[in-house]
Amino acid sequence: MSTTRKRVYGYLAEFKSASALYKAAEKVRDAGFRKWDCYTPYPVHGLDAAMGLKRSILPWFVFFGGVTGCATAFALAYSTQVLIYPTVVQAKPTNIFTVPAFFPIMFELTILFSGFTVLFGLLGLIQLPRLNHPLFASKQFHRATDDGFFIAIEARDAKFNPDVTRNMLAEIGGENIELVEEED
Amino acid sequence: MASTSEHAPHTDTGIKLPVLKREKLILNDRSYHWITDRICGIIENRQPFLWWLLFIPSALIALIGVGGGLVHLVSTGVGIWGNTNRVMWGWPIVNFVFWIGIGHAGTLISAILFLTRQNWRTSINRAAEAMTIFAVMCAGIFPAFHVGRVWFAWFLAPIPNANAIWQNFKSPLLWDVFAVSTYFTISLIFWFLGMVPDLATIRDRCKPGLRKILYGIFALGWRGGNRQWSHYEMAYLLLAALSTPLVLSVHSVVSFDFATSVVPGWHTTIFPPYFVAGAIFGGFAMVLTIMVPARFIYGLQDLITMKHIDNMAKIILLTGTIVGYAYLMELFVAFYSGAIYEMDAFKFRIAGPYWWAYACMMSLNVLSPQVFWFKACRENLWVVMIVAMCVNVGMWFERFVIIVTTLARMWLPGDWKTFSPSPQDQMLFVGTIGLFLMLFLLFLRFLPCINIAEVKWAKTESDPHFEDNEAHSDDGAEEIPAYQKELAESKG
């Protein structure tokens, strides 16, 4: 059965510059919207505050990733060099006092595990990879990665109202306002 | 009162020193769309003839030198290399240290210049990071095959094996394994994450088809939403903060291979900083070697400006001078230590049968960059290219001097030997140069060679307060720094 039923994703409005977007974002934030986002070709300085976003929690993940890496390296080196397979080389002891010789690898694994935590932590936080998205159906959205500055307000937001939200976007300087729909 | 305090009070004492205007990083006020078009155009359009002219020979050299060279090596045995019982590290480790050093400039540009807010890095960081990755790939070939039986290279990894033998974690050689593999992995993550928004740009410009699907997969579905940018910027900052100590550690660990041994000429504490400075020095020379022609071929003069080249030339001058200081300090310490073996090692380097290698090292690394004291030399691209090539060669000779001349004259005179590389040695090294160029040309062909998002960010009007500043501007020219105001007030 072929259906052409479509679900409304939300409104997409274009703004003429980063400054205009910044001011508009403050107004959308103050209007109390929750499920909305600004789309820009580059990270606009200060937009986090204008949108009311909190500081990213990624550093916490990375801290624990780094601690894990450091502990892994120590466990690996200590268990093999002291517990399982003690060998006297370079006149270095085979007990806990040989730890300074483990520092380089402990450092490297701290960095390695932290790096992987950055990668996977980031992908988790920004919910990527996600190859398809309703916004990609928009005819103008491809300019968000070129020279377009957009705000999209989702229909899922409690404050969303087809007419009121559209008027608000127009009032705060939005142009080319488009109702984005996704196929159900 | 708040409104009045926002504007600087006018001083009428007549002190108006000119304030230097910040040089623009992107010339001719190019629009965002122009930047996208110009950089993506390199990938979307046919490659210039010169690209093929460089690519085909590099690919052939890589195929014969690395492909053929390694097949020959593995099927015959490492005896075909010029390494001897005495000069056991020989040519392969010279090349390893050379290539791994090249990579360091990429990480310096992407991480350290990011942390120090040097915005000029945005035009060159992508290509420099690519260079890092390809250089580390070239570097990795040498120690992997230098172990002798490459199919046992997995013995380097700390995994349980049938012999119940564990790696020696106290050995700098194992530190090296961890340092280099971590460096490669982190550089790759940094490079890839930095590229995701730009891959999305290319995806959005592609017509539906295989290209769009492939770029789309690697772009991960990036949408450029600020909820993504916010985390993304934090991730970028964290990776920069992680890479900064990492890059300093990698060549330090490489230098430990030498410095922790009890060999005259190697056993010095100056090695880690000396190696790191040398790596950055050699790496910047390589960045210039490949970016100056690429900038010309693809018409990127508005993005990679003379300011960028000027800055890189200054860094080469600085690090080259540090390297020169290290060379002289080595000699001084050998003299001041009063250790006869240490002194003899350096006498041999300067006046022994390898005097020409030492002379090349000194003149190419220390003297040639000194021309960059002169602005005219930094502005002449021919001079810049010649010096960069000199440094590339000089840095290779530095590693040759350190490794070969030291090992050729160790403790026992009965061991003394003169090293000469075999044709297979030379073939493999030339092959890696071909491999490096080939990979870099493929990078230029298929990936955005300049960080599109960051270059847009570096434009002055990208600041959301740009229009506010324009509305009540102070023209920039009459800006009076705080200390001058104080000066004026104290006089008045």
Predicted pLDDT at B10: 53
pTM confidence score: 0.89
Rounded mean pLDDT of B406-411? 86
Residue A19 and residue A40 share a domain: yes
Segment B11-20 long-range contacts (CB within 8 Å, at least 24 positions apart): B11/B480, B11/B485, B11/B488, B11/B489, B11/B492, B13/B488, B13/B491, B13/B492, B15/B480, B15/B484, B15/B487, B15/B488, B15/B491, B16/B478, B16/B480, B17/B480, B17/B484, B18/B477, B19/B476, B19/B477, B19/B478, B19/B479, B19/B480, B19/B481
Rounded mean pLDDT of B56-60? 96
For residue B240, the distance in angstroms to the closest alpha carbon of chain A comes to 10
pLDDT of residue B25 exceeding 90: no
Measure the CA angle with vertex A149, ends A146 and A154; round to 5°: 120
Alpha carbons B270 and B450: distance in angstroms, whole number: 36
Selected residue with higher pLDDT from B22 and B267? B267
Residue A120 and residue A63 share a domain: yes
Binned at pLDDT 50, 70 and 90, residue A64 comes out as very high
**What are B336-395's pLDDT values in tens digits?**
988 898 898 899 999 988 999 999 999 999 999 999 999 999 999 999 999 999 999 999
Q: Is B117 on the interface with A (CB under 8 A)?
A: no
**What are A65-92's pLDDT values in tens digits?**
999 999 999 999 999 988 988 888 878 8
Nearest beta carbon to residue A17 from set B225, B239, B467? B467
Nearest beta carbon to residue B225 from set A39, A98, A105? A39
Alpha carbons B481 and B1: distance in angstroms, whole number: 22
* Residue A173, in any domain of the structure: yes
Query: Among A93, A125, A157, where does a domain finish?
Result: A125
Residue A93 and residue A10 share a domain: no
Residues of B in contact with A114 (CB under 8 A): 238, 242
pLDDT of residue A2 exceeding 80: no
Residue A134 and residue A49 share a domain: yes
CB A94 within 8 A of CB B235: no
Predicted pLDDT at A3: 61
* Tokens describing residue B378: 């930094």
**What would the DSSP string read from start to end of B430-448?**
HHHHHHHHHHHHHHHHHS-
The residues, any chain, with a CB within 8 Å of residue B164's CB and separated by 6 or more, are A85
For residue B294, the distance in angstroms to the closest alpha carbon of chain A comes to 23
State which residue of chain A sits closest to B197, comparing Cα positions: A145
State which residue of chain B sits closest to A83, comparing Cα positions: B166
Count Cβ atoms within 10 A of the Cβ of residue A141 and give its class: 0-12 exposed, 13-18 middle, 19 or more buried: buried
**What are A152-184's pLDDT values in tens digits?**
999 888 888 888 888 988 988 888 888 888 876
Predicted pLDDT at B352: 87
Residue A117 and residue A75 share a domain: yes
Rounded mean pLDDT of B36-43? 89
Alpha carbons A44 and A38: distance in angstroms, whole number: 10
Q: Which domain holds residue A33?
A: 6-54+129-183
Residues of B in contact with A17 (CB under 8 A): 461, 467
Predicted pLDDT at A67: 96
Predicted pLDDT at B310: 92
Rounded mean pLDDT of B48-59? 92
DSSP single-letter state for residue B24: P
The residues, any chain, with a CB within 8 Å of residue B283's CB and separated by 6 or more, are B101, B102, B103, B104, B105, B106, B108, B128, B131, B132, B135
Nearest beta carbon to residue A77 from set B36, B169, B220? B169
**What are B419-473's pLDDT values in tens digits?**
889 999 999 999 999 999 999 999 999 999 899 998 888 887 788 887 666 555 4
Binned at pLDDT 50, 70 and 90, residue A149 comes out as very high
Predicted pLDDT at B388: 95
Residues of A in contact with B119 (CB under 8 A): none
Residues of A in contact with B221 (CB under 8 A): 128-133
Which of B122, B163, B227, B450 should one mutate to test binding to chain A, selecting the residue with the greatest count of A CBs within 10 A?
A: B227
Alpha carbons A40 and B432: distance in angstroms, whole number: 41
Residues of A in contact with B203 (CB under 8 A): 145
Cβ–Cβ below 8 Å for B182 and A112? yes
Residues of B in contact with A90 (CB under 8 A): 170-171, 260
Predicted pLDDT at B469: 64
Rounded mean pLDDT of A9-17? 90
Mark which residues 182-241 of B lie under 8 Å from A by CB: 182, 185-186, 189-190, 193, 197, 200-201, 203-205, 216-217, 220-235, 238-239
Q: Phi and psi for B160 in degrees, rounded to 5?
A: -60, 135
Residue in this structure with the two tokens 């377009």, named with its chain if needed: A148
Q: What number of C-beta contacts closer than 8 Å exist between A and B?
A: 217
State percent of chain A over pLDDT 90.
38
Residues of B in contact with A81 (CB under 8 A): 166, 168-170
State which residue of chain A sits closest to B206, comparing Cα positions: A142
**What are A38-49's pLDDT values in tens digits?**
999 999 988 888
CA proximity to B463, closest of A47, A44, A51, A53: A44
* Residue A1, in any domain of the structure: no
Binned at pLDDT 50, 70 and 90, residue B6 comes out as very low
Least-confidence region, from B19-28, B174-183, B465-474: B465-474
pLDDT of residue A94 exceeding 80: yes
Rounded mean pLDDT of B176-180? 93
Predicted pLDDT at B11: 52
Residue A103 and residue A15 share a domain: no
CA proximity to B326, closest of B397, B275, B264: B275
Q: How many CB atoms lie within 10 A of CB B428?
A: 25
Binned at pLDDT 50, 70 and 90, residue B55 comes out as very high
Residue A178 and residue A89 share a domain: no
Residue in this structure with the two tokens 């892994």, named with its chain if needed: A72
Q: Is A59 on the interface with B (CB under 8 A)?
A: yes
Residue A179 and residue A146 share a domain: yes
Predicted pLDDT at B4: 39
Query: Among A125, A145, A164, where does a domain finish?
Result: A125
Residue A137 and residue A47 share a domain: yes
Nearest beta carbon to residue A108 from set B179, B235, B467? B179
Residues of A in contact with B185 (CB under 8 A): 112, 115-116
Alpha carbons B171 and A147: distance in angstroms, whole number: 53
| Dihedral class, residue A37 (left if φ above 0, else alpha if ψ from -120 to 50, else beta) | beta
Residue A83 and residue A43 share a domain: no
* Residue A174, in any domain of the structure: yes
Predicted pLDDT at B473: 46
pLDDT of residue B24 exceeding 60: yes
Query: Among A84, A99, A125, where does a domain finish?
Result: A125
* Residue A155, in any domain of the structure: yes
**What are B190-241's pLDDT values in tens digits?**
999 999 999 999 999 888 889 999 999 999 999 989 999 999 999 999 999 9
CA proximity to B415, closest of B406, B424, B423: B406
pLDDT of residue B3 exceeding 50: no
- Work out the mean pLDDT of chain B and round it to a whole number: 87
Mark which residues 86-125 of A lie under 8 Å from B by CB: 87, 89-90, 92, 98, 101-102, 104-105, 107-109, 111-112, 114-116, 118-119, 121-123, 125
Which of B170, B214, B250, B262 should one mutate to test binding to chain A, selecting the residue with the greatest count of A CBs within 10 A?
A: B170
State percent of chain B over pLDDT 70.
90
Q: Is B468 on the interface with A (CB under 8 A)?
A: yes
Cβ–Cβ below 8 Å for B201 and A46? no
Predicted pLDDT at B18: 65
Domain count, chain A: 2
Residue A115 and residue A162 share a domain: no
DSSP single-letter state for residue B8: P
Residue A168 and residue A119 share a domain: no
Cβ–Cβ below 8 Å for A126 and B232? yes
In this predicted complex, what is the ipTM?
A: 0.93
Predicted pLDDT at B141: 93
